[in-house]
Structure 1
Amino acid sequence: MLSARNLFQEILDDDESFRLFCSIAAGGESQGGWENGRIAALAPWSQRALAPKIARHGADEDKHGRIFHALLKRRGLRPAEVPHETDYTMLLEKHGIGLSHEQLKRDEQLTELDIITYLAHSRVTEQRASEQMELLLRHFADHPDLGRAVKMISQDEANHLAYCHEELLRFARSGHGRTIQRILRECALTEIRVYRDVSLAVMYHMGRILGWPRTKAAVLAAGILGIYAYERLAGWRRMVSLELPERRDPLGGPATPAPEYA
């Protein structure tokens, strides 16, 4: 039976597909860590109180990257080269989502609009990350190798999403509501296209490694396209809504260490 659990289990059981899965995940998390670190360092004076939370966000992402590298090490595997068409964070930047690396590499203070753009971008991408980790948590919370990592990362992603809601609502109360909604909508509509393309690319590479027959690959591709069609029609709206989170000040303290992994 072709199910999410069976699909992930097949990927996890094979060394090469597991190697690619962890390498893609580690690369994205590490990239996010660097971006957040730079944004924290360049935050405008009017938002200096936010800088420690941005830095905490980045520290969590760095930790996740180390966790995925540690999972590879446990299996005696080295990181794989990540195909450019599977690089979610790079492709989002290429499509103009978030703050560019060129801007972040300059030692120029960011503006309030830059911070709002960063938070809106994060609100959309953290929605995706949180949902993906919830899916893995549902199926692999008790997995001997992956379970502890999934629980830790899922908790962090839920905190990141709550933080984005909380801070964007703070900016909305100060008069930036229309700007936030415009940026959120632009980010969401672009993200669902990038996610579709990356998902198709990842499935292609996994299918090549695992020797999937054409019929199986076609069914998976149709499923990805079906999800995109739903998200293009209405599903994107879940990424742009804002509500006061149950988790208040979720990034108000130091990052949770992961000594068992890093």
Structure 2
Amino acid sequence: MLSARSLFQEIIDNDDSFQLFCSIAASGEAQGGWENARIAALVPESMRELAPKITRHGADEDKHGRIFNALLKKRGLEPVPVPPETDYTMLLERRGIGLTHDKLRRDEPLTEHDIVVYLSHSRVTEQRAADQMDMLVKHFADHPEVGRAIKMICNDEDNHLAYCHEELLRLARAGHGRTIQRTLRESALAEIEVYRDVSLAVMDHMGRILRWPRPKRAALALGIRGMYAFERLGGWRRMVDLRMPQRRNALGGPAEPAPVF
């Protein structure tokens, strides 16, 4: 029987598939760390109070990248190049979602609109990250090799999601509501397509590494497309609603270290 637990167990039990999985995850987290650091440096003066929280967000992402690289090192493995078709962050950028790397490389202050776009995009992608980490914690919280890592990352992703909700609600009250609503919808509809394509690409690579039989690979592809159909028909709406989180000021302090790694 195919299940998230059994599939992930296969991936972490094999050095080659584990190496690819951690490399993809570490690369994505490192990109997120760089992006948030640049955004924090370029925040407009009218929104400077957000800079420490954006910096904290970036520091958390950098920490997650180090954790995944540490998991590789503990097995005596090195990171491998990330196949471009599995690069979630860059594929989103190509779809016009979020702030482009070209803009972030310039030493020009961002606008208030840019920050609204950044937070709206983050609210969508952090929902995906939080959902994925919740699933991993559900099945692997007690795993001797990856359990502590995924629990730490899961807690951070919940903080990131809470931060996005709280700040977007504040900006909506300040008059940015229509922009936020429109950007959230555009981001969510693009994200579910990118997530489908990346999921298909990752499973294709894993299938070849683990030598999955053709019927198993076909069933997985069908499941991924089925999930996309569900999200396209309305499941995407969970990624755009805004509600005041229980965790208030979730990124109000320094990033928590990960000394165990």
In the superposition, the TM-score normalised over structure 2's length comes to 1.00
Per the alignment, residue 98 of structure 1 pairs with 98
Give 2:76's aligned residue.
76
Q: Once the 2 structures are TM-superposed, how far is the Cα of residue 127 of structure 1 from its aligned partner? A: 0.1
The aligned residue for residue 60 of structure 1 is 60
Cα distance in 1 for residues equivalent to 2:37 and 2:151: 24
* Cα deviation, residue 260, structure 1: 1.5
**Structure 1 consecutive aligned stretches of length 4 or more whose deviation exceeds 2 Å:** none
- Give the counterpart letter for 2:129 in structure 1: A
Counterparts of 2:231 and 2:44, CA distance in 1: 35
C-alpha distance in structure 2 between counterparts of 1:2 and 1:60, whole Å: 33
Partner of 1:135: 135
Which residue matches 2:210?
A: 210
- Where 1:197 maps in the other structure, the secondary structure is helix
1:221-260 paired onto structure 2 within 5 Å: 221-260=221-260
Residue 81 of structure 1 aligns to which amino acid in structure 2?
P
Q: Distance in 2 between matches of 1:54 and 1:4?
A: 32
Kindly tell me the number of residue pairs found equivalent between the two proteins: 261
One-letter amino acid of the structure 2 residue matched with residue 116 of structure 1: V
Distance 1:201 1:221 in 2: 10
> What SS does the aligned partner of 2:256 have?
coil
Return the offset for 1:173.
0.3
What 5-or-longer segments of structure 2 have no aligned partner? none
Structure 2 Cα separation of the partners of residues 113 and 169 of structure 1: 15
Distance of 2:120 and 2:108 partners within structure 1:
21
Q: Could you tell me how far apart the structure 1 residues matched to 2:114 and 2:142 are? A: 41
Task: State the one-letter code of the partner of 2:4.
Answer: A
Q: Which residue of 1 aligns with 2:150?
A: 150
1:118, distance to aligned residue in structure 2 (A)? 0.3
One-letter amino acid matched to 2:15: D
After TM superposition, the structure 1 = structure 2 runs for residues 5-44 of structure 1, keeping only pairs within 5 Å, are 5-44=5-44
Q: Per the alignment, in what secondary structure is the counterpart of residue 148 of structure 2?
A: helix
Matched position secondary structure for 1:228 = helix
Q: Distance in 1 between matches of 2:2 and 2:51?
A: 45
Instruction: Please show how residues 170-209 of structure 1 align to structure 2 within 5 Å.
Output: 170-209=170-209
User: 1:259 offset after TM fit, Å?
Assistant: 1.5
User: Identity of aligned pairs, percent?
Assistant: 74
CA–CA separation in structure 2 for the residues paired with 1:180 and 1:196: 24
- The one-letter amino acid paired with 2:76 is G
- Output the CA distance in 1 between the equivalents of 2:133 and 2:27: 16
Q: Report the alpha carbon displacement of residue 80 of structure 1 after superposing the two structures with TM.
A: 1.1
Cα distance in 1 between the residues matched to 2:116 and 2:152: 27
C-alpha distance in structure 2 between counterparts of 1:229 and 1:65, whole Å: 31
The Cα of 1:254 is off from its aligned counterpart by: 0.4
**Take 1:133 and 1:246, find their aligned partners in 2: how far apart are those partners?**
19
